[in-house]
A and B are shown apart, each in its own frame.
Chain A
Amino acid sequence: MSVQIMLGPQTPHSNLKNAIDSLSVNGPVVSITAGWRDSEAEIDELQAAIGSPIEDLNLYHLAEELFSREPKLHALHRERQDKLLELQRLYRIRLTPGMTAARKLLRDKAESDLLRLEQRAAISQVRSLDRHHLRRISAIHQEFDRRRAEVLIPSATSLVQSLQKKLAESGLVLIAGGHVSVLVNRIRLFRLVDMLAQKPIIAWSAGAMVLGERIVLFHDDAPQGKRDAEVLDAGLGIVRNVIPLPQAKSRLDWSSRNRMALFSRRFAPAKCCTLDNGSIIHLQDDRMTYASLCSVITRSGMKKPVVTR
């Protein structure tokens, strides 16, 4: 298995160069900056940070071009995205009361087995809803893949092959942060997951989020108030048992232990790991082999430094 390194945001201080230096890289460095959307091609700062040339795969722009050339594929893609959006809305309708109940029970001060059982049951209901949501999303993706296969698109096939070749020849893949949904969609669209799993990867922020098994959206300091964390989609599944939480310092309400405890227990046994500026986690074969400046959220809603083996 290859090595994966997860980093926090690269501003104000970048630790990307140090992360690269810790690996022995055999081959060109390629990047995936599709999460930057329109700014995808603006990789000058990235190249300056690591001091060597990078080839970006341009997945965002290639997808846009492909969609404009292949209206049938675009329509299929649009249909899937609309379904996913609607499904997310329906999931949220069910999620809100479940989370409200779980939080209320966790706040309850009674010291009794009765309460503990109800707390467990409430969290279990939310976990079950999250699993159900992922199954429904998976069914939508499968339907898309099936219908896409029916629409034979030679230009798309050759594009996929050329991207896979570039990845195969690379010695290291960098996956930048940005718009997490766009990023995971583009990687899937070009069928790069299997190839990525074989490559050393350094990914930060949204890039780290897509490597996991589930993509969890969260923000406790939004202008219109706190929102319940939501499962957006399955991740690429290259890293298991980790929920990366970029910008955790500013995005999570650490003053509310119950809220944090619920976060941790909802996604257990996966470790909810903070990734702030300067954070780094090395993983190999799903084991954390090194970590610095990152913490996990404990069952009781506290922070604990990541312990590596």
Chain B
Amino acid sequence: MNPIVESLYREGNPDAEAVDKFIQQNQFPLVEPGHVTFVYRGQAQAVHLRSWISGLDTAQPLVPLEASDLWALTIELPDKSRFEYKFEVEENGVKQLVLDDLNGVLAHDPFGANSVCQGYGYERPGWTLHDPTARSGSLDTLKIASRSFRDTREIQIYLPAQFRRNRTYPLLIVHDGLDYLRYADLKNVLDNLIHRFEIPAMIVALTQSPDRLIEYTGDERQARFLGEELLPAIAAKFPLLDDSNARGLAGASLGGVAALHAASRYPKLFGQLLLQSGAFAFSDLGRHKKDPVFDPVVRFVNEYRNTPYPIAEKIFMSCGIYESLIYENRSLLPVLQDQGMQIFFEESRDAHNWENWRDRLRQGLSWLFPGPLWMVYE
């Protein structure tokens, strides 16, 4: 048992006042090197930790603590780990997923919010937070009447601070770009990394799909949209460096699939790829066992694994080791490496979520688009 929980019982069963004090005086979950203890307070028939960590049971029971309304569960957790969770509370036969009321650290995604468990030694990187000394970039809007999709797409364009039309800039196109802004603090990250000269001042196009389960799964329309419509439209409106090494595609999960797929359809058009937790589903033999949504992904990844070829100059891949996609990413890695492309693969003690993707952006962006920090002393 966690020593702090043990101390609650050192002088016998605690009364309500002692439990109140225990709750007020501690931060939850209780973190110690190598372990973390979750605590839930309330009346219930059963409480489970729901964490969606690959390799662990998706629901682990918390144990009621004697003579109190507390429940606790201690699990092993390597230092610097981070994952998201909820409690599943069962009362009167009804199960409900709830946030951890004792933990104020939350992560948001398009489906809502989760509580965040930060293992011993984890710290949110300073470069993801707003820095008042960093000049702020701005957001512009570009509307494109798409022939591929037969509708109009609205793209947000990040322009760096001190943007000048008489200069030329690298371009990164980001799938689920608005989610990257909302949930991965992409604007703070870009402002800060540019301010620190870790990446050059660059233009970032933020695309958002109305139906990513179709369009991001190896859809030829998406590749055509990026290569033949979006890129020329951005180049017509904004001053871009005319060099494939100064053009990149990025995405997480299915967005990573869409980025790799588009780059494969236009080899060397986009020299730099940032692929985070790419959902690179494949099958070595027989039919895959994933949702039918993945059918086109599997077709594309199988096709690429069978006949691989160089598609970009550099690829930064990242994946959390607590997500099942680590298998797919590790499997794709040697295939890409064998094509003579420069590959940087980063594994993190994290899962399939936006904060994992946020925390890897500095390494990824600065490796793909190195800034002049070695030479610049402002």
Q: Tell me if A237 counts as interface (CB < 8 A to partner B).
A: no
Within 8 A of A (CB), among B348-378: 362-363, 366-367, 372-378
Cβ contact of A223, chosen from B162, B164, B198, cutoff 8 A: B198
A11 CB contacts on chain B under 8 angstroms: 133, 378
Cβ contact of A224, chosen from B162, B366, B375, B377, cutoff 8 A: B366
Q: Tell me if B10 counts as interface (CB < 8 A to partner A).
A: no
Query: Per-residue 0/1 for A9-24: is the Cβ within 8 Å of any B Cβ (1 yes, 0 no)?
Result: 1111000000000000
Q: Tell me if A247 counts as interface (CB < 8 A to partner B).
A: yes
Give the complex CA separation of A227 and B375 in angstroms: 13
Give the complex CA separation of A42 and B162 in angstroms: 10
Q: Tell me if B167 counts as interface (CB < 8 A to partner A).
A: yes
Cβ contact of B376, chosen from A10, A12, A38, A178, cutoff 8 A: A178
Give the complex CA separation of A247 and B374 in angstroms: 12
Find out whether the CB atom of B376 lies under 8 angstroms from the CB atom of A179.
Answer: yes
Cβ contact of B374, chosen from A42, A222, A246, cutoff 8 A: A222
Given contacts A39-B162, A224-B366, A224-B367, whether A179 and B374 have CB atoms under 8 Å apart is: no
Cβ contact of B378, chosen from A42, A205, A219, cutoff 8 A: A205
Query: Using a Cβ–Cβ cut-off of 8 Å, how many residues does chain A contribute to the interface with B?
Result: 25
Give the complex CA separation of A280 and B253 in angstroms: 50
B375 CB contacts on chain A under 8 angstroms: 179-182, 217
Find out whether the CB atom of A180 lies under 8 angstroms from the CB atom of B377.
Answer: yes
Q: Tell me if A63 counts as interface (CB < 8 A to partner B).
A: no
A217 CB contacts on chain B under 8 angstroms: 374-375
Give the complex CA separation of A178 and B378 in angstroms: 5
The closest CB in chain A to the CB of B166 belongs to A38
Find out whether the CB atom of A223 lies under 8 angstroms from the CB atom of B374.
Answer: no
Give the complex CA separation of A12 and B133 in angstroms: 7
- Shortest Cβ distance from B347 into chain A, in angstroms? 16
Find out whether the CB atom of B377 lies under 8 angstroms from the CB atom of A223.
Answer: no
B378 CB contacts on chain A under 8 angstroms: 9-11, 177-178, 205-206, 246-247
Q: Tell me if A209 counts as interface (CB < 8 A to partner B).
A: yes
Cβ contact of A222, chosen from B162, B166, B373, B377, cutoff 8 A: B373
Find out whether the CB atom of B377 lies under 8 angstroms from the CB atom of A247.
Answer: yes
Find out whether the CB atom of A180 lies under 8 angstroms from the CB atom of B366.
Answer: no
Give the complex CA separation of A101 and B266 in angstroms: 46
B198 CB contacts on chain A under 8 angstroms: 222-223
Within 8 A of B (CB), among A209-252: 209, 217, 219, 222-224, 227, 246-247
Give the complex CA separation of A9 and B196 in angstroms: 13
- Shortest Cβ distance from A294 into chain B, in angstroms? 15
Give the complex CA separation of A186 and B162 in angstroms: 23
Give the complex CA separation of A246 and B167 in angstroms: 27
Find out whether the CB atom of A223 lies under 8 angstroms from the CB atom of B133.
Answer: no
Query: Per-residue 0/1 for A164-179: is the Cβ within 8 Å of any B Cβ (1 yes, 0 no)?
Result: 0000000000000111
A10 CB contacts on chain B under 8 angstroms: 378
- Shortest Cβ distance from B315 into chain A, in angstroms? 16
Give the complex CA separation of A209 and B376 in angstroms: 11
Give the complex CA separation of A205 and B167 in angstroms: 24
Cβ contact of B167, chosen from A12, A38, A222, A224, cutoff 8 A: A38
A38 CB contacts on chain B under 8 angstroms: 164, 166-167
Query: Per-residue 0/1 for B194-236: is the Cβ within 8 Å of any A Cβ (1 yes, 0 no)?
Result: 0000100000000000000000000000000000000000000
- Shortest Cβ distance from A288 into chain B, in angstroms? 20
B133 CB contacts on chain A under 8 angstroms: 11-12
Given contacts A12-B133, A38-B164, A39-B162, whether A223 and B376 have CB atoms under 8 Å apart is: no
B166 CB contacts on chain A under 8 angstroms: 38
The closest CB in chain A to the CB of B363 belongs to A223
Give the complex CA separation of A4 and B164 in angstroms: 34
A178 CB contacts on chain B under 8 angstroms: 376-378
Given contacts A222-B198, A223-B363, A223-B367, whether A209 and B377 have CB atoms under 8 Å apart is: yes
B374 CB contacts on chain A under 8 angstroms: 217, 219, 222, 227
A224 CB contacts on chain B under 8 angstroms: 363, 366-367
Give the complex CA separation of A284 and B251 in angstroms: 56
Give the complex CA separation of A27 and B68 in angstroms: 82
Cβ contact of B377, chosen from A12, A39, A206, A227, cutoff 8 A: A206
Find out whether the CB atom of A206 lies under 8 angstroms from the CB atom of B376.
Answer: yes
Give the complex CA separation of A111 and B85 in angstroms: 53
Cβ contact of A177, chosen from B167, B363, B377, cutoff 8 A: B377
Within 8 A of A (CB), among B23-53: none
A222 CB contacts on chain B under 8 angstroms: 198, 366, 373-374
Considering residues A177, A179, A223, A246, which has the most beta carbons from chain B within 10 angstroms of its beta carbon? A223
The closest CB in chain B to the CB of A232 belongs to B375
- Shortest Cβ distance from A88 into chain B, in angstroms? 11
Query: Per-residue 0/1 for A244-267: is the Cβ within 8 Å of any B Cβ (1 yes, 0 no)?
Result: 001100000000000000000000
- Shortest Cβ distance from A225 into chain B, in angstroms? 10
Query: Per-residue 0/1 for B159-192: is the Cβ within 8 Å of any A Cβ (1 yes, 0 no)?
Result: 0001010110000000000000000000000000
Give the complex CA separation of A39 and B163 in angstroms: 10
Cβ contact of B373, chosen from A9, A42, A205, A219, cutoff 8 A: A219
B372 CB contacts on chain A under 8 angstroms: 179
Not counting A39-B164, A177-B377, A219-B374, a sample of 5 additional A-B residue pairs whose C-beta atoms are within 8 angstroms of each other reads A178-B376, A180-B375, A182-B375, A222-B374, A224-B366
Residues of B within 8 A of A (CB): 133, 162, 164, 166-167, 198, 362-363, 366-367, 372-378
Q: Give 17 A-B contacts (CB < 8 Å), ordered by A residue.
A: A11-B133, A35-B376, A38-B166, A177-B377, A177-B378, A178-B376, A178-B378, A179-B375, A179-B376, A180-B377, A206-B378, A219-B374, A223-B362, A223-B366, A224-B367, A227-B374, A246-B377
Residues of A within 8 A of B (CB): 9-12, 35, 38-39, 42, 177-182, 205-206, 209, 217, 219, 222-224, 227, 246-247
The 5 A-B pairs at the shortest CB distance, nearest first, are namely: A223-B366, A206-B377, A205-B377, A246-B377, A177-B378
